Structure 1
Amino acid sequence: MTQDFNTENYFKQIYARPVILETQGLSQVFQHDQIKRTILKQIDLKIHQREFICIIGPSGCGKSTLSRVVAGLDDFDSGKVLVDGKPIQGTSPERGMVFQGYTLFPWKTVKENVMFGPLMKGISRTRAEEMAREWIGIIGLEKYENQFPHELSGGMKQRVAIARALVNEPKLLLMDEPFGALDPYTRQKMQKHLLDLWQNIDITILFVTHDMDEAILLADRIVALKANPGEIREIIEVNLPRPRTPDIMQSDEFKQLKAHVNHLVHAQDDIEIDPAMQNLPSIPRMTQVSTQK
């Protein structure tokens, strides 16, 4: 552990920065026929410039819903969502989004995918190509700029998706389990690459994950949600030094923090469990092969 890291000073500096994203009493209710279910309830959250925030919680707690609402992809029933103090109105390039699935245009090359956003903003093709090449260089895929998505690995596709979001110079990057489909080795490499990007550019990140190790490794603060309804259970300041590498996961401090996060995520009352996981039916026997040795 780095001895000269001062947690109190670190967070004092964060809280002195401007608030980029604020939600005030944010609530969302899902209704299907006569059934109503509160997905998000009274979410009050302030995220400061260049913070790295991770959202974590049990299945069905509204993690992805929160990110989609902030992105402007989903409506909400009550409350406010403010970016730089102004209410959001639909989607915007100032809020870039990276999903778990590889949402690249399959008929466009890497370069064309990254150029897409600037072209939609009315930037000239020459300048859009310059911007795309700059970001393709930053993510280390210069040799692949003329390749199509089906010719890339999963990690490469997500690097292109990140570049496609960042080329628009967003104030906020929203990431919904972006590394969930990757193998453990590639996931670890992508976590390091994302931290390198974040530490070197002016970007604020809201990152949804179900992986506690990932949340603790990446975040300044972890927002733990409880389910049914989705409310903030606790906001945790991650008191681990920056920059972080996977080695920090072996430290006692990391393990203690993980135990606390694990308790928050899994110590749910029965009423808070995802309804789809309640009253699971018994499985009828469909084989005569014995499970006994």
Structure 2
Amino acid sequence: MNNSTFNAHEYFQKIYARPVILEAKNLSQMFKHGKTERTILNQIDLKIHKREFICVIGPSGCGKSTFSRIIAGLDAYSSGELLVDGEKITGPSPERGMVFQGYTLFPWKTVKENVMFGPLMKGASQMSAEASAREWINIIGLEKYENQYPHQLSGGMKQRVAIARALVNEPKILLMDEPFGALDPHTRQKMQKHLMDLWENIDITIIFVTHDMDEAILLADRIVALKANPGEIKEIIEVDLPRPRNIELMQTKEFKRLKSHVDQLVHAQDDEIDPALEDLPKIPRMTQISSER
């Protein structure tokens, strides 16, 4: 697909014709601490279709990570419904893999042993788990490193192992919570390209949390923009840019148009600031050395 043949209306009509794989109905999450109660997510209604690439963005404190953890089954929600293929989420499941910003690899296990862990926990034989692990290690291009330990790998390599460890379980949904946030810009771009290549070639739906607007526009079919206090859907943006995408696309006027709109959604309103930042104290003087030159 390229700029001359891309039809955004037709592209999204095809997406919406696919089965709904994840549905949130009036989903809310309350946090209680003593007598204090705070609404983290408020009445989220969202349908995500099979093989969509969804990015979730919003200001600090809007509930992006909470939403992904609820979908993963790691956190409970207070009210509403959350369904995968029409079935209610009641806890963690291999059908929903998750990749965090921290690499969360077992430091005492090799690359191969880390990727084998999921299949073994599901009851696969040692031989079957090893074969599955090797297949995914080859896909992520780390076959030369399968016997290395996490401390021997670069940040980008560790995150590729984390992705393989999630995908080896053949999940329906891959949840990614700012997975490239700790990487340097060059490695981050390479990982974005690698992730797009993976998604375009395997049967997976991706829900990707990020605070980086460029990243969201580059990766997503649709961007779910949340507002804070409480966390609610402010707008769902169809990214009407052709696929496959590359870094050069970021220099086009179409990309910059979308970025301007997304930037306004995320940063325009001061009342959506993280409440912890509203009353920052004045810093007392703790040095006798002047900052004047």
Q: Same fold (TM over 0.5)?
A: yes
Partner residue in 2 for 1:218: 219
2:52 pairs with 1:56: no
Report % sequence identity.
Answer: 77
Alignment partner of 1:26: what SS?
Answer: strand
SS at structure 2 position matched to 1:192:
helix
The two structures, once aligned, show a CA RMSD in angstroms of: 0.9
Partner in structure 1 of residue 232 of structure 2: 231
For normalisation by structure 2, the TM-score amounts to 0.98
Q: Where do residues 263-278 of structure 1 align in structure 2 (5 Å cutoff)?
A: 263-270=264-271, 272-278=272-278
Match of 2:73 in 1: 72
Partner of 2:178: 177
Whole-Å separation in 2 of the counterparts to 1:89 and 1:175? 20
Partner of 1:118: 119
Q: Counterpart of 1:128?
A: 129
Please say if residues 31 and 37 of structure 1, whose CA atoms lie closer than 8 Å, have aligned partners that are also in contact: yes
Q: Which residue of 1 aligns with 2:15?
A: 14
CA contact (8 A) 1:224 1:232 kept: yes
Q: Could you report, residue by residue, the CA deviation over 1:125-179 in whole angstroms, capped at 9, with x for unpaired residues?
A: 1011000000000000000000111111110000000000000000000000000
Number of aligned pairs?
A: 292
CA shift at 1:269, angstroms?
4.2
Give 3-state SS (helix, strand or coil) of 1:175's partner: strand
Gap runs ≥5 in structure 1: none
- AA at the equivalent of 2:117: F
Match of 1:28 in 2: 29
* Aligned counterparts of 1:168 and 1:251: Cα–Cα separation in 2: 38
**How many Å separate the matches in 1 of 2:242 and 2:290?**
52
Q: Which residue of structure 1 lines up, in the alignment, with residue 163 of structure 2? A: 162
Aligned twin of 2:96: 95
> Using the alignment, how far apart are the partners of 1:269 and 1:291 within structure 2?
30
Tell me which amino acid in the other structure corresponds to 1:41.
Answer: N
Runs of 4+ in 1 over 6 A off after TM superposition: none
Match of 2:255 in 1: 254
Q: 1:268 Cα shift?
A: 2.2
TM-score of the superposed pair, with normalisation by structure 1: 0.98
**Contact preservation (8 Å) 1:226, 1:268:** no
Letter of the structure 1 residue corresponding to residue 93 of structure 2: S
Task: In structure 2, list runs of 5 or more residues that go unmatched.
Answer: none
Q: Supply the distance in 2 between the matched residues of 1:76 and 1:200 (Cα, whole angstroms).
A: 33
Residue 292 of structure 2 corresponds to residue 292 of structure 1: yes
Secondary structure of 1:112's aligned partner: helix
